[in-house]
Amino acid sequence: MWLIDADKMAAFIESKNIVRRDKKVTHKLKILKQFADEIIIGNKNFEIRKNDRGYQKGDLIRFEVADEYGNRLDGRRYTKHPLHDKLYEITYVLSGWGLEKDYVVLAIRPKEKEGD
């Protein structure tokens, strides 16, 4: 297991030009349709991501659903996906434990709206 030192995390965040504030950060993340479908029906409540954004508990996620070629399913060229209108909160960030270096598992749950 990797233990993350607070000073090292602060230096990492600064090196990636990530601005941490006292309030929650909202991340826009692309996700493949097959995984978006699983989130919508309730089978998937986690994300595995490279921690290049300094994800923290309490941060929010808005997903942009893409097809297997990376094209966004945003209603202009494709059928709009139900996940587009949803907001998710990161409830836990796991690192280490067999994950590749710099990768994390993000536990997520639906959030009603950004102010809640």
In the chain, how many H helices and how many E strands?
Answer: 2, 5
For the stretch 5-15, pLDDT in tens is: 666 666 666 55
For the stretch 15-58, pLDDT in tens is: 554 555 567 899 999 898 899 999 999 999 999 999 999 999 99
State the Cα–Cα distance between residues 48 and 99, nearest whole angstrom: 9
Q: Bigger pLDDT: 7 or 91?
A: 91
Q: What single-letter amino acid sits at 94?
A: L
pTM over 0.75: no
Q: Is the CB of residue 99 less than 8 Å from the CB of residue 48?
A: yes
State the Cα–Cα distance between residues 68 and 30, nearest whole angstrom: 11
State the Cα–Cα distance between residues 89 and 116, nearest whole angstrom: 10
pLDDT band of residue 115 (cuts 50, 70, 90) is: low
